[in-house]
Amino acid sequence: MIPVILCGGTGSRLWPLSREAYPKQFLPLIGSETMLQATVRRLEGIQQLQAPILVCNEEHRFAAAEQLQEIGHGAQTILLEPCARNTAPAIALAALAALEAGEDPLLLVLPADHVVADVTAFQKAAQTAQTLAGLGHLVTFGIVPTRAETGYGYIRRGEVLAAEAWRVAEFVEKPDTNTAESYLAGGEYSWNSGMFLFRASRYLEELKEHRSDILDACRRAFEGAVRDLDFTRVDGEAFAACAKESVDYAVMEPTESAAVVPMDAGWSDVGSWLGLWELAERDADDNLLQGDVLLQDSESCLVRAESRLVSLLGVKDLVVVDTDDALLIAEKQRVQDVKKLVSSLKRSGRSEARRHRKVDRPWGYYDSIDAGPRFQVKRIVVKPGQQLSLQMHHHRAEHWIVVRGTAKVTRGDEELLITENQSTYIPLGVVHRLENPGTIPLELIEVQSGSYLGEDDIVRFDDDYGRG
């Protein structure tokens, strides 16, 4: 059995913490590990389990690889999607990759951004589903509902297939409150978790029968794939031509082989700040406090402070999330509408919708400290032994001041070492590179000046990380 971990979500309802360039699956929302790391961890102990296949956006490839390395896990491959095409194509790519080795394994498909509190119950459900999948069924995991939830799709059970397993009678869209209450009372319905188990070939057979256009596009994209380190880059043009479709609509609803196995494992998709508040441990006043927070006469609030003190006085049912460059204040029952705020930011061209002030790179990170007309100031940290690309800018010059460590600088035909309290200047149009040859992180202050300071003003001539 091979886990297929889908890392393509954006988590826009958890803005300003989750953003397009660094979405919620790469964040430690509950506990010290990220949601991706927790997803991989809960697989430990399952017998005959191979290394996972990850499917993620090309922009997130280094975050995904590094987070697996941090917990001592590797991947068979990390499949890179050049654009988002929903879950049916993503799983098709994973199935094609799994079959390439000449075997026909079971695929345990898991979103990377879900919480499962009871790992034992999760693994027991996966074991039950293995038997069904081995017989050719396409198994979905139905979450045992705990409330009349209107934000989830539902699955209705049909005839019994085995102990704790039923044929799927019907997939149901998100219901209204009265309908959800009837589902809860009836006992035949479970929440649609978005987790699946089936044999790779069976999934492709069903996809061919019901959405052959998606399978054909994915085959062309995979046949044109290029392997790069741990990554598999599928053909961008072929994949972009693929229809956007979920696995539910493309395969699970039309197939006659769908089965459901119940799972009562403390599951949540953490789809909003309210979802996080409901999951996490709260204080005596029902507050969830994260970071440097001071509350007085306040109750039932979620407050997260990333970099400074946040204080609340005499309020109730608020969500307050403070990051380096954005502050969200919302009524707790309105947090589903945070997605609308993000859409407004995108329409306005605001960078806060897409990335944080601090931006991770495979060589380290940079933090945009200050900016104004024709200048920008960044704090840059380079990991030991890492280097930036050999590059040039058309519209800006750069001053570098080292505050910690030693920098090896390529500047045109020159090569020089600069240490703490020393600086250098990179004129506009000069080819240059920054490297950390030492054993401690290199920290420097970069002052950019010029007519245009966007990140797309980079011409790369050589790069260790395969960026164009």
CATH number at residue 75: 3.90.550.10
Burial class for 90, CB neighbours closer than 10 Å (0-12, 13-18, 19+)? buried
Q: Which is higher by pLDDT, 252 or 62?
A: 252
Question: What pLDDT is recorded for position 240?
Answer: 96
For 443, the 3-state DSSP assignment is strand
Give yes or no: residues 292 and 259 share one domain.
no
pLDDT band at 22 (very low <50, low <70, confident <90, very high): very high
Q: Is the residue at 19 inside a domain?
A: yes
83, 108: one domain:
yes
What's the whole-number mean pLDDT along residues 68-95? 95
Q: Tell whether 104 and 55 lie within a shared domain.
A: yes
What the block records as the tokens of 185 is 């009372």
Q: At a CB cut-off of 8 Å and minimum separation 6, what does 203 contact?
A: 91, 92, 95, 107, 138, 251
Strands 358-361 and 364-372: antiparallel
Q: Is the pLDDT of residue 224 over 90?
A: yes
Within a domain: 345: no
Buried b (16+ CB within 10 A) or exposed e, 357-372: bbebbbbbbbebeeee
How sure is the predictor about 468, in pLDDT bands with cuts at 50, 70 and 90?
Answer: low
> E strands along 257-357, which residues?
258-263, 267-268, 288-290, 293-296, 302-305, 310-313, 318-322, 327-331
Per-residue model confidence (pLDDT) at position 247: 97
- Examine residue 209 and state whether it is found in any structural domain, yes or no: yes
pLDDT tens for each residue of 361-392? 889 999 999 999 999 999 999 999 999 999 99
Arithmetic mean of pLDDT, 190-212: 97
- Using a pLDDT cut of 70, give the percent of the chain over it: 100
Q: Which of 370, 378, 386 is nearest to 442 (CA)?
A: 386
Q: Domain boundary at 283, 306, 339, which? A: 339
Determine if the pTM surpasses 0.85: yes
Cβ neighbours of residue 103 closer than 8 Å, sequence gap 6 or more: none
User: What is the chain's mean pLDDT, rounded?
Assistant: 94
**What is d(CA 227, CA 364) in angstroms, rounded to the nearest whole number?**
24
Range of the domain at 286: 273-339
Query: Do both 76 and 210 map to the same domain?
Result: yes
CATH number of the domain that 398 lies in? 2.60.120.10
Q: How far apart are the first and last CA of the chain?
A: 35
**What per-residue confidence (pLDDT) applies to 23?**
94
> What pLDDT was estimated at residue 67?
94
- Is residue 353 in some structural domain? no
Q: Does residue 152 belong to any structural domain of this protein?
A: yes
| Co-location of 367 and 446 in the same domain | yes
Backbone angles phi, psi at 277, to 5 degrees: -60, -40
- Whether 310 and 447 share a structural domain: no
- Asked whether the beta carbons of 403 and 416 are under 8 A apart, the reply is no
Higher pLDDT, 74 or 215: 215
Q: Which of 220, 250, 268 is the last residue in one of the domains?
A: 268
pLDDT band at residue 456 under the 50/70/90 scheme? confident
Q: What is the DSSP letter of 44?
A: T
Residue 466 has pLDDT above 80, yes or no: no
In a domain, residue 239? The reply is yes
Between CA 342 and CA 31 the distance in angstroms is 26
The token pair at 415 is 């090569």
**Residue range 312-360, pLDDT digits in tens:** 999 999 999 999 999 999 999 999 999 999 999 999 999 899 999 998 8
What is the rounded distance in angstroms from the CA atom of residue 362 to the CA atom of residue 59?
11
- Per residue in 265-282, pLDDT (tens digit) is 999 999 899 999 999 999
Helix axis angle for 200-210 and 87-99, nearest 10°, is: 130
Residue 388: Cβ within 10 Å count = 23
61 and 76 both lie in a single domain: yes
Whether pLDDT at 10 is above 90: no
Number of domains observed in the structure of the chain: 3
The torsion angle over the Cα atoms of residues 149, 154, 160 and 164, rounded to 10 degrees, is -50
> What average pLDDT does the segment 249-265 reach?
96
**Residue that wins the pLDDT comparison between 96 and 186:** 96
Give me the residues paired with residue 404 across strands.
443
- Look at residue 454 in the predicted model and tell me its pLDDT: 87
Rounded to an integer, the average pLDDT of 98-122 is 94
Q: Six-digit token pair at 28?
A: 């430690």
**Residues 411 and 426 sit within 8 Å (Cβ to Cβ):** yes
Residues 6+ apart with CB under 8 A from 110: 3, 4, 5, 6, 39, 195
Q: Which residues pair with 459 in a beta bridge?
A: 392
Per DSSP, the chain holds a count of helices (H) and strands (E) of 11, 30
Are residues 295 and 169 located together in one domain of the fold? no
Q: What average pLDDT does this structure show over 41-67?
A: 93
Q: What pLDDT, on the 0 to 100 scale, is given for residue 236?
A: 94
Please state, as a whole number, how many other Cβ atoms lie within 10 Å of the Cβ of residue 35. 26
pLDDT of residue 102: 79
Max CA-CA distance within the chain? 76
Same-domain check for residues 139 and 280: no
Secondary structure letter of residue 316 according to DSSP: B
Within this chain, do residues 294 and 443 fall inside the same structural domain, yes or no? no
pLDDT digits (tens, 9 = 90+) for 394-431: 999 999 999 999 999 999 999 999 999 999 999 999 99
Residues 172/153, Cβ–Cβ less than 8 Å: yes
Looking at the structure, tell me whether residues 321 and 218 fall in a common domain: no
Rounded Cα distance, 433 and 443, in Å: 15
Residue 186: Cβ within 10 Å count: 10
Q: How far apart are CA 35 and CA 115, in angstroms?
A: 7
Of 242, 268, 294, the residue at which a domain comes to its end is 268
Judge whether 468 lies within some domain: no
What average pLDDT does range 140-161 have in this prediction? 93
Same domain? For 170 and 82 the reply is yes
From 254, 203, 255, 245, select the one nearest 97 (Cα to Cα). 203
Tell me: pLDDT of 115 over 90.
yes
346 domain residue, yes or no = no
